[in-house]
Amino acid sequence: MEFLYEYGLFLAKAVTLVVAIVVVLIAIVASASRQKPGKGHLEIVSLTEQLNDIKHYARSVLLDKAAMKKLAKEQKKEGKKAKSDKDKKEDEEASRLFVIDFTGSMDAHEVERLREEVTAVLCVAQKQDEVLVRLESGGGVVHGYGLAASQLQRIKEKGIKLTVAVDKVAASGGYMMACVADTLLSARFAYIGSIGVLAQIPNVNKLLKKHDIEFEQHTAGDYKRTLTVFGENTEEGREKFRKDLENIHVQFKDWVKSQRETLDIEKVATGEVWLGSEAKEIGLVDDIMTSDDYILSHHPAREIFAVKYATKKSMAEKLGISVSAAAESTVMRLLSKSRHWF
């Protein structure tokens, strides 16, 4: 009996503890769902210092004491010479390389960070400076990537050299951005191109009719809605939809041609993609090089800075409870509003 009593007491305590934990978790989740995302902030990190630290660590591991001592003397001598040269050129501002990363999704929401990063760079950059954008995107909505390309155009309009490096993919809307560059670099096996326009929309009208479900849609204006998900599509609506696609494709080709004048636009504007080495042969990119090699080629001659606009995650995002809601929202926006995308 005493054993059963103690066991029952232990079980009651365990249940109480579990209930208390569940209540606390529910309170945290409820609070997280009401919390608004924090305001973003700018982060500027010296890549020059990071590269110097890597070099110093590698040498400390690989070199013996005698070699390290000899290297220290050489570095001290070089440091004095560098300081002397700096004093002679104190009236001249050193050239800097600003690095911005852009990894784009279908809805191109990353453009909000890009515009902040570009604005920050333009506030401090001088004519002798350069901006390197490490770009990765397979494309997405027309209006989103159009704005993203315009953000890069702002750099060129200020007379600052713009270099874009593609390590993996710059296709469709991604290439719309990349082609703005004064110099466009690509890794050998990166995907480049896809100068075309895509639109697709499901239609469940036959399914609704099969189950005797009526759907009504009223518009003011002949082409307010050309194709519909639930209603019955007409040949006239399909034709207008195709014309809209062709018009966007023409605008896309004109944009690429204005940025890369020597390009045979009719040859490349077929929606195809090419590997970096092939893209160089037909003029889609200027050189085969990774972003890492490009940055190293400017070290230590230039000061190199990474510029990033970071937003503080809400508690809901940290807990991961808003992922499905965000995904659902994105899909619905694509279906209901953004009929065309690159």
Identify the pLDDT of residue 40: 86
- 59 close to 69: Cβ distance less than 8 angstroms: no
Identify the pLDDT of residue 286: 98
Name 322's bridge partners: none
Residue 26 CA to residue 321 CA, distance in Å, equals 12
Sign of the alpha-carbon torsion through 89, 92, 95, 96: positive
Residue 297 to residues 97, 155, 167, 291, 305, Cα–Cα distance (Å): 11, 22, 16, 10, 14
Tell me which DSSP letter residue 198 carries: B
Which has the closest alpha carbon to 307: 135, 118, 128?
118
Identify the pLDDT of residue 324: 46
Contacts of 215-219 with C-beta under 8 Å, sequence gap 24+, read none
At 81, list the tokens.
């010479």
- 38 close to 322: Cβ distance less than 8 angstroms: no
Q: Cα 237 vs. chain centroid, distance in angstroms?
A: 34
Q: Catalytic residue among 137, 168, 172, 253, which? A: 172
Give yes or no: 329 in active site. Answer: no
For residue 164, how many other CB atoms are within 10 A of its CB? 28
Identify the pLDDT of residue 114: 97
Within 8 A by CB and 6+ apart from 208, the residues are 214, 215, 230
At 126, list the tokens.
């001088």
Which has the closest alpha carbon to 340: 104, 102, 146, 111?
146
- 37 close to 311: Cβ distance less than 8 angstroms: yes
Q: Is 110 helix (H, G, I), strand (E, B) or coil?
A: coil
Give yes or no: 224 in active site. Answer: yes
Identify the pLDDT of residue 319: 53
Q: What is the pLDDT of residues 314-326, one digit of tens each?
A: 655 555 544 444 5
Residue 4 to residues 7, 8, 12, 167, Cα–Cα distance (Å): 5, 6, 12, 67
Residue 286 to residues 51, 186, 264, 301, Cα–Cα distance (Å): 26, 8, 14, 23
Identify the pLDDT of residue 321: 47
The ranges of the chain with pLDDT < 50 are 4, 7, 35, 37, 89-91, 321-325, 328, 330-338
Q: Is 219 helix (H, G, I), strand (E, B) or coil?
A: coil
Q: What is the pLDDT of residues 22-39, one digit of tens each?
A: 666 676 666 655 545 457
Q: Cα 171 vs. chain centroid, distance in angstroms?
A: 13
Characterize the bridge pairing of strands 41-46 and 96-103: unpaired
Residues found in the chain = 342
Identify the pLDDT of residue 266: 95
- 255 close to 149: Cβ distance less than 8 angstroms: yes
Residue 107 CA to residue 338 CA, distance in Å, equals 9
For residue 151, how many other CB atoms are within 10 A of its CB? 20
Q: Catalytic residue among 36, 206, 224, 324, which? A: 224
Domains and CATH numbers, the chain: 41-86+94-200+229-336 (3.90.226.10)
Residue 340 CA to residue 323 CA, distance in Å, equals 25
